[in-house]
Structure 1
Amino acid sequence: MAYRWSTYSQQYKISLNLAYPVVIGQLGQIMVSVADSIMVGKFLGTIPLAAISLAVSVLIIPMVFAIGVAYGLTPLVAGADGEENPAAATKYFKNGLVLNSILGLAIYGLIALFAEGAHLLGQDERVVAEALPYIHVVGFSIVPMMSFFAFKQFAEGLSDTKAAMRVSLAANFLNVLLNYPLITGWGPFPELGLIGAAVSTLVTRFLMLGGMALYIRKKQKFALYWSYWRSSEVNWQTVKEILNIGVPSGLQYVFEAGAFAMSGVIVGMIGPVQQAAHQIALNIASVSYMMVSGLGAAATIRMGNQLGRRDYPMLRLAGQSLFHLTFFFMLVTMTLLILLRNFLPQFYSSDPEVLQYTAVLMVAAGIFQMPDGMQATALGALRGIKDVNIPTIVAFVAYWVIAVPLCYFLGVYLEKGPIGVWMGLTVGLVLASIALYWRFRHKTLRMH
C-alpha cells in the first residue's frame, strides 16, 4: 500500500493517545534507575556504580521474565473488550492477579538463591560485596511490583493507559526524593549508602500497588467488572491461557534483557572502569527503550482489540502506523545519543577514564536505537495477535546463539574491549528486528 497521510493520520492519533501515557510512565520508571546511577556514581564512586551494574545483571533476567508473564494478561483482556464481554475480562483479571502474586514470591526466592553465587561470575570482590544487599532488597520489591502489574495490565487491556502513568509518576517522583537522603544520610535519615537506593525502590513499589488497586476498586467505570468478581473462578484453564501468552513473552524479554545482562558480566571480566562505563551508557540507552516500549504496549492493545472485532484490514493499518511512529521516534533518539555522547555521561561520573570509555559506547548505543525500537514494537504487535512462540525462537537465536557469543569473541577473545561487546549486541538486535517485522507482515497479510 502506498503511503498516504490521510490514510494513516487518524491511526497515528489513536496509537499515540494509547502510547503516550505508557511512554511517560515508563520514562518515569527508568528515570528512577537513572537517578540511582547518577547519585551512586556521584556520591559513592566507581565501585558502587559497578555494583549496580552487577546487581542489574542478576536481577534483570528473572524480573523481566515475570513482567513478560504479566503482559500475557493484556491481549486477553483487550480481546474480551473487543468482543464486549466484561465477564471474560474480569475472569482474566482475577486469575492474572493470583498468578502474578504467586510468581512474584517465587521469583524473589530464585533471586535470593542465585545472588549467593554472584562471586562465581569472575567479578571484583569489592563489587560483589556492595551488590549483594542491594540485590536482596530490590529482589523482594518484585513481589508488590508483580501485583501492581496485574492491575496495570487489566486497565491497559481496557485501553486505560493513563491511570498507571499517574500512579507510576507519583511513586517514582517519591523514589527519587527518597534516594538522596537515604544514600547520604541527609537530615534525620540514616546513611545507608547503596542500600538506601534499594530501600527507596521497595517502599515506592508497595505504594504503586496500593495506588493502582485503589483506583480500579473505586473508579465507577470499573464497577461493571467488579460485579462479576465473585462469580469469576480461579482455575487452571484460565491461568493456562495467560501462561500460553505470558511465558513465551517472558522468555522473549529474558533472551534480550539476558543478553544485555550477560554483556555487563562480560565487560566486568575486562575491568571495573569499563564496567562502570558500560553501566552508564546502557542506563542512558535504556531511557529510549523504555519509552518506545510504550508503542509496543499500544500495539498489543490495538492488535488485541481489532482481533477481537475481527477487523483485519484495520488491524494491519494500525500495526503499520505503529511501525512508522517507532521509526521516527528512534531516529530522534539515535541523533540525540550521538550528539550528546560527551555531555550526558558527566551527570554520572567525573572519572576521566570512565567518561572516555562511555563516550565511545554512546555512539554504539545510538546506532542500535533503530533495530531495538523496531523489534520492541514488533514483539508487542505479535503478542496482540497471540503469536508468541515463533518470535520467542527468533529472540533466542538472535541474542543467545549469535549476539552473546559474538560479544565475548569480540570483547574478550579479540580484546576489542567494551566496544566489541556492544558490536555483538547490535548484530543481534538488527537480526531480531528484521525477522520479527517480517513475521508480523507475513501473519497479518494472511488474515481474512
Structure 2
Amino acid sequence: MPVRSLWREVPPTLGLAVPIVAGIGASTLLGVTDSVMLAPLGPLPLAAVGLTNAVAVILYAAIYGLLAALSVRIGAAHGAGQGRQIPAILRNGLVLGAVAGVAGMVLMLAVWPFLPLLGQPQEVLAILLPYWVTIALAMVPFSLLTVFKSTFEAVDRPWLGTGFAVLAVIINVPLNYALIWGIGPLPMLGLTGAGVATLAAESLALLAAWGFWLRGRSMRRLRLRAAVSAATVASVAREGAPLGLMYIAETGAMAVGTLMIGTFGAVALAGNQVAMSVGGLLYMVPLGVAGAVAIRVAQARGAGNIAALRPITWAALGLVTLWLAAAAAVLGLEGRTVASWITSEPEVISIAATIFLVFATAQVMDGVQSTMTGALRGVSDTAFPALVSMLAYWGLGLPLGWVLAQGAGLGPAGVWAGFVIALGLAGGVLVWRFLRQTGPARLTPT
C-alpha cells in the first residue's frame, strides 16, 4: 500500500480525533474538579468521591459502549448521502439514551445498600448518600448528551459536541465553588454541593445541546420528523451491547489488577496509581482515534468507498502506535522524573518507574486493540472484538499477570506484563479479523 495513500488519511482522522479527545478530556475534568475543590475539606470527602467514581465509571463505560453504535449508523448514512435517515437514528438514539441513563441511575442507587456489606468505612458512608444520589441522577443527562455528541461527530461537526462538554466544565467550576463553600445566599453544602453542581452542569449542557438542535439553523435536517420504533431502538441496543459489556470487562479487569498489586502493599498500590494517572492522560489519544476511525470507516462504507477502509485504518493505527511508542520511550527513559511530578515519596517513585517500563508497553498493545476495535465497529462488527477483549483481559491477562507477579517474582510489574502479552495477542487477532471483514468477498458498501 503506497505511503501517500496512508498519509492522505492522516489529516481527516486527526481533524475528527482531536475534538473527540478534547471532549473526553472535558468529561474527565468534571470528576477532577470535584476532587480538587473538595481537597481542602479533608480526606473524607475525597474518599467519598473516589468510592463514588469507582462505581460510576463502570456504569458510564457501559452507557458509552451501548450508545457507540449510533455514531456508526449515522456516519454510514452521512457517507451514503442519505441525510433523511439521520433524524430517525437520532430520535431513536435519544430514546435509547434515556433508557440507558435511567437504567444506569437505578443500578447505581441499587448498589448503595450493599456498600456497608463490602466493608466500606462508616465515616465515609455517613456523608456519602446525597453525593451518591446526585451522581446517579447525572447519568440521565450524560447519556442524552452522549447521543447528541455522537451525532455531531458522525456528521463532521465534532467541535459542537466538544463545545457542549466544555460548557459543562465551565458551568461546573464556579457552581462547585459556590455550593461547596456557600457564596452569598447559597448554603455551604460541602460534598453534597459538588454533586449538585455536577448534576446541574450536565443538565444545563444537555439543555443547551437540545436547544441548539431544536433552534439552530444548521440543524434543520437533523430535526426532521421521524418515527420512533421499539424495533429500531432494540436493534441499536443489540449492536452496542457487546461494546458496553466490553468496556465493563476492561474497567473491571483494571480494578482487579489494582487489587492484585495491592497485595504487595500500600507503596506498590501508590506507585501503580501514579502509573495509571499518567496512563489515563496518554490514553485519551487512542480513545479519540478509535472513535474517529469508527466514524470514518462507517462513512467510507456508506459512500461505497470500500477501497478506503484499510488506508483509513492503517493510518489511524500508525498515529496511535507512534504516539504510544513515543510515550513508552519517554516513560522508559525518564520514568522517575515523570513520577516525581506527581509524588515526592522516593519508594513510590521507584516502584512507579519500574511499573512504567512494562505499563507503557501494555498501553501500546492496548492502543492497537482499541484502534482495531474502532475500525471493526465501523463495519458494524462489535460482538467478535468484544469477545476477544474479554477473553484477553479475563481469560489470559489477569491469570498470567498473577503468575508472573507472584510465581515468577516480578512483583507489581508482573501484573502489567500479563496484560502486555494478552493485549498483544488480542491486537493480532483483531487485525486478522479486520482483514477478513474488509475483503472484497465479504463487504458490501452499505
- TM-score category of the 2 structures, normalised to the smaller one: 0.7 to 0.9
Matched, 1:306 2:303: no
Question: Which whole-Å CA distance do the structure 2 matches of 1:358 and 1:48 have between them?
Answer: 26
* Aligned with 1:137 (options 134, 138, 143): 134
- Please say which of residues 116-125 and 324-333 is displaced more in the overlay: 116-125
Aligned to 2:287: 293
- The residue type equivalent to 1:62 in the other structure is L
- Please say which of residues 131-140 and 121-130 is displaced more in the overlay: 121-130
Flag the 1:39–1:345 CA change in 2: closer, same or farther, 3 A: farther
Matches within 5 A, 1:310-325: 310-325=304-319
Aligned to 1:15: 13
Gapped runs of 5+ residues in structure 1?
A: none
Comparing both chains, which one has the higher relative contact order based on Cα–Cα distances under 8 Å and sequence gaps of 6 or more? Answer: 1
Matched, 1:171 2:174: no
TM-superposed CA distance for 1:303, in Å, is: 1.0
Matched, 1:59 2:53: no
SS of the residue 1:56 aligns to: helix
Aligned to 1:261: 255
* Aligned with 1:398 (options 374, 377, 392): 392
Matched, 1:432 2:422: no
SS of the residue 2:227 aligns to: coil
TM-superposed CA distance for 1:370, in Å, is: 1.0
SS of the residue 1:375 aligns to: helix
Matched, 1:24 2:2: no
SS of the residue 2:228 aligns to: coil
Over aligned residue pairs, what C-alpha RMSD do you find?
A: 3.2
Flag the 1:414–1:11 CA change in 2: closer, same or farther, 3 A: closer
Residue-pair matches, total? 441
| Aligned 8 A contact 1:260 1:425 in 2 | no
- The residue type equivalent to 1:58 in the other structure is V
**Deviation digits for residues 159-206 of structure 1 (CA, Å, limit 9, x no counterpart):** 2211011221232244345556656x3765766555554444323211
Question: Which whole-Å CA distance do the structure 2 matches of 1:412 and 1:53 have between them?
Answer: 28
Question: Which whole-Å CA distance do the structure 1 matches of 2:377 and 2:261 have between them?
Answer: 32
TM-score (norm 2): 0.86
* Aligned with 2:111 (options 99, 111, 114): 114
Flag the 1:265–1:117 CA change in 2: closer, same or farther, 3 A: farther
- The residue type equivalent to 1:28 in the other structure is A
Matches within 5 A, 1:195-234: 195-227=192-224, 229=225, 232-234=226-228
| Aligned 8 A contact 2:289 2:316 in 1 | yes
TM-superposed CA distance for 1:297, in Å, is: 1.1
- The residue type equivalent to 1:332 in the other structure is A
Flag the 1:17–1:129 CA change in 2: closer, same or farther, 3 A: same
- The residue type equivalent to 2:239 in the other structure is I
Question: Which whole-Å CA distance do the structure 1 matches of 2:37 and 2:349 have between them?
Answer: 16
**Deviation digits for residues 1-47 of structure 1 (CA, Å, limit 9, x no counterpart):** 2x42x2222211111112111122222223444455556667634x7
TM-superposed CA distance for 1:394, in Å, is: 0.2
SS of the residue 1:445 aligns to: coil
Percent of residue pairs identical: 30
Flag the 1:172–1:263 CA change in 2: closer, same or farther, 3 A: farther
SS of the residue 1:159 aligns to: coil
- The residue type equivalent to 1:404 in the other structure is L
**Deviation digits for residues 278-324 of structure 1 (CA, Å, limit 9, x no counterpart):** 44432331122223211111111111111112221112221211111
TM-superposed CA distance for 1:264, in Å, is: 3.7
| Aligned 8 A contact 1:266 1:412 in 2 | no
TM-superposed CA distance for 1:275, in Å, is: 4.3
| Aligned 8 A contact 1:245 1:388 in 2 | yes
* Aligned with 2:233 (options 239, 255, 263): 239
* Aligned with 2:93 (options 58, 77, 96): 96
- The residue type equivalent to 1:317 in the other structure is P
Question: Which whole-Å CA distance do the structure 1 matches of 2:7 and 2:396 have between them?
Answer: 38
Question: Which whole-Å CA distance do the structure 2 matches of 1:146 and 1:212 have between them?
Answer: 13
Flag the 1:283–1:36 CA change in 2: closer, same or farther, 3 A: farther
